Structure 1
Amino acid sequence: MNRATYFFPEVAKALYGDPISELEYASTEYIMAYSLGTYPSHQTYSIVDTGSDLIWLQCHPCYECYALKYPIIDVSSSLTYRNYYCNSDQCKLAKASVSNTYCDVVFNCQFRISYLDGSITEGTIAHDTLTLASTRGGKVAFPKTLFGCVHKTVGHFVPESSGVVGMGRGPISLISQMGSLIQGKFSYCLTPMFSEKTSKLHFGQSAVVSGPGTVSTPLGTKDNFYRVTLEAISVGDKRIQFNLDGLPNDEGNTVIDSGTRLTILPEDLYFEVESEVKVNIKADRTGDSGINQAFKLCYVSESIETLGAPIITLHFRDANVKLNPINTFVVFTSNVICFGVRPLRRISMMGNMAQVNFMVGFDLHNNIVSFKPTDCTML
């Protein structure tokens, strides 16, 4: 890495263009490549997650960690690696995003994250240089990027990923730490799960989503999530209203989450949508409870294309997003297709499957997210 790239990332951007990364699909998640450290620099792979803030990865020594496809890296071997102490401003910033921080015996800032599925990660808040590829073929480095060096993980994590790249709106997310270099802009185009093509992740001016077919909706300002307001859902021609009673106009009732596979709807809305789906599909059902805890509605069909599934439209404020069957149905076995939407009390979330074959662009300066129907395999 040349010295201008390391010490002056603005110069690197001018020389090499905007940061980019390719995404590989693995086990319900999209995995991005990046490098961490200098002398040596370590290539690693982590889940792209717009639903969280902290960048974390399993580090050597890992006392209780899930198995990876490749060796756990020793980030402390980098000349630019440093831990943060408990009284640092960065430790305080981390606490605002991960909730639980504490001190170890030598006063290093430690963290613990508990996920909804019961998974847990624990480790040390540190910083080092994070490096990405660029649109002009070079590298763009981001010195002193805050991340979590994890020494313990319990629960469900995919072996193709060493951790998570948090891309939320909080101050310690990758997006926030990139700062003015990306002008608050990033976008991705996710390929279908069985595609051999990689997905693309762009930052900065190259991430702008525009042109024919593009629709945009305002982002809420309540918290660090990317919240949008879902006003209704149409199944075919039947429109079902989302109850917005008591919801402030700027809050947003639905989270856009690239780190979650399925779309989640509040129970009342889900069962209305499910009822219309049943009316529209003539194929045989596998049973009222489906065949797996993740799915409530499954059909006997050779493929999603032959199922006869209806178009489902998400009516966001100022933007109608039409979902094709690959966005709403998933192949469970060779002859069973399941509805890829789940009910959960009082939670609404647009998962990554619903975002497949859309250019999804976030513009945090203008507080909007844009959707453009795209064959992502052709990019």
Structure 2
Amino acid sequence: MAATSKPYHLLSYYPTLIFIITYICTVILISFTKANEKLGFSVELIHRDSPNSPFFDHSTTPLQKLSSALHHSMNRATHFFSSKPNKTLAHLHDDDPESEITYASAEHIMAYSVGTPSFQTYGVFDTGSDFIWLQCHPCYECYNQTIPLFDLYRHSSTYRNYNCHVSECESVEPSVHDTHCDVVWNCAFEMRYLGRSTAMGLIAHDTLTLASTTGCEVSFTKTLFGCAHKTVGNFVPESSGIVGLGRGRFSLISQMGSSVQRRFSYCLTSPYLSSSGSNSKLHFGQNAVVSGPGTVSTPLVSSGDYSNEHYYVILEGVSVEDTKIEFDGGGKTASSIVEGNAVIDSGSRMSLLPENLYYHVESEVAKRIKLNRSDNPHKPFKLCYESESIESVKAPIITVHFRGADVKLSPINSFLLVSQNVACFAFASFSEIDMGLIGNLAQINLLVGFDFQNNIVNFKPMDCTML
């Protein structure tokens, strides 16, 4: 009798496949640590209000989450522009108990690992910060972190404190607010946020690892970060600290440097749309290229009045359908505006416009919407309507005019359902400050790319759920 052949079964090759995948990822991991390699990879961004988030807070209502996010947006604007004297934001005062900046309402969190072997943690993704820090054991006086602390003595053989040669320690400023040498000659740091929130500890370097969406890990050796041993104030309890992707020298993207061609992009999904079943994506290097039909670009510039580490662009005006309202820049014509007068910010929910520009835009929007006006349930919003959905508002198309780039916003970018029966225009006004801030709601379903080598920001319409 002829021997029966053994049936083919893919599972019998599973150990071999795992070995091959692991080997390939290891090769990629090794090669990506070389500074001259040109790599591309992507990671997931987790929105805290998304049901997909492992940190989704079931104890708070959608309205409570929204209220927290709105206050956070206004507070961040205060934080960005507080260096300009004698200027205040609308609805915010120094003695307002809600004017304290808090990262407890931060929008997106990303997973990363530190040390050897790698220790996974989560940090707040923040393009408005220029430094990476996390709480470390021993934490003498820290906020109540719900995920494990990084124990630098137990978890990593490659952890090293940053030696305090004064010039090198001072070079970490202005990415942090203060550095100094401690009694055993280590470099110590302090980060200060509006509302007396602070993080203090030692500056160190260790291997930082990101898990890409392909399943492979990408590591960067000798990444400089802060190991915080004392924190005061309000921070995200489900995270260990902040992952800054600003323009400063010691942000994550700056330290990745030439290996990712000093380039990153993100595509944000909405956690509030039932059709959105996927997390947002953050891309680096080759994966971060924004090109093709529909792509527009505007220069990254410096601001004469504020920190040059934020993502400043030139805002020339805003159109409501075919009516354009120029931003006069405090009496200047659009062609004479040379300094950065707006910030592209991933960490703010809402967008903010200079007061005079806002009221002209609001007036044009109101002319085109035929619904009944509603009482304002949230202080920053001034234009609200009775509506059960964004679609039924029939909102006009808003176009934000940056220098060289006209970015069209759909109704999901410009209106927000703030309760079951009320939708509001999701822009608010600055009082006296001639600056704009473009928040993440206005960036949903846009592929937004930051290219340091060419000093430009690229925008491309995109269904971010398809990436």
TM-score by length of 1: 0.89
| 1:151 to 1:342, Cα distance in 2 relative to 1, 3 A | farther
Unpaired runs of 5+ residues, structure 1, are none
| 1:237 to 1:266, Cα distance in 2 relative to 1, 3 A | same
| 1:155 to 1:278, Cα distance in 2 relative to 1, 3 A | farther
Runs of 4+ in structure 1 deviating by more than 6 angstroms, as ranges, are none
Contact 1:221 1:250 in 2 (8 A): no
Counterpart of 2:285 (choices 188, 204, 212) is: 204
| 1:13 to 1:134, Cα distance in 2 relative to 1, 3 A | farther
Which deviates the most, 80-89 or 314-323?
Answer: 80-89
Contact 1:47 1:259 in 2 (8 A): no
Counterpart of 2:130 (choices 35, 46, 53) is: 53
**C-alpha deviation, 1:2, in angstroms:** 5.1
2:365 matched residue in structure 1: 277
2:249 matched residue in structure 1: 171
2:217 matched residue in structure 1: 139
Structure 1 segment 73-92 matched on structure 2, within 5 A = 73-77=150-154, 78-87=156-165, 89-92=167-170
- Secondary structure class of the residue paired with 2:391: coil
Instruction: Give distance in 2, aligned partners of 1:285 and 1:120.
Output: 42
Contact 1:142 1:178 in 2 (8 A): yes
Contact 1:19 1:133 in 2 (8 A): no
**C-alpha deviation, 1:207, in angstroms:** 0.9
Q: Deviations over 1:336-375 (max 9, x none)?
A: 2222222224231111111110111111111111101001
Counterpart of 1:42 (choices 96, 106, 119) is: 119
Which deviates the most, 114-123 or 94-103?
Answer: 114-123
Please state if 1:231 is matched with 2:316.
yes
Kindly indicate which of the two structures has a greater share of residues assigned to strand. Answer: 1
Kindly indicate which of the two structures has a greater share of residues assigned to helix. Answer: 2
2:47 matched residue in structure 1: 25
**C-alpha deviation, 1:103, in angstroms:** 3.7
Structure 1 segment 361-372 matched on structure 2, within 5 A = 361-372=449-460
Instruction: Give distance in 2, aligned partners of 1:72 and 1:167.
Output: 22
| 1:121 to 1:328, Cα distance in 2 relative to 1, 3 A | farther
**C-alpha deviation, 1:322, in angstroms:** 0.6
Q: What is the one-letter code of the residue matched to 1:332?
A: V
Which deviates the most, 346-355 or 240-249?
Answer: 240-249
Which deviates the most, 181-190 or 325-334?
Answer: 325-334
Please state if 1:94 is matched with 2:172.
yes
Q: Deviations over 1:205-261 (max 9, x none)?
A: 121011111111111144222111110001222211111329976532111111222
**Paired positions, count:** 374
Q: Deviations over 1:112-135 (max 9, x none)?
A: 223345533333222111012347
Q: What is the one-letter code of the residue matched to 1:51?
A: G
2:147 matched residue in structure 1: 70
Please state if 1:10 is matched with 2:34.
yes
- Structure with greater Cα Rg: 2
Instruction: Give distance in 2, aligned partners of 1:8 and 1:204.
Output: 11
Instruction: Give distance in 1, aligned partners of 2:333 and 2:384.
Output: 34
Instruction: Give distance in 1, aligned partners of 2:31 and 2:296.
Output: 39
Q: What is the one-letter code of the residue matched to 2:342?
A: T
| 1:261 to 1:312, Cα distance in 2 relative to 1, 3 A | same
Q: Deviations over 1:87-138 (max 9, x none)?
A: 3555223222222223434333232223345533333222111012347642
Quote the RMSD (CA, aligned, Å).
2.6
Q: What is the one-letter code of the residue matched to 2:313?
A: V
Instruction: State the identity as a percent.
Output: 56
TM-score by length of 2: 0.73
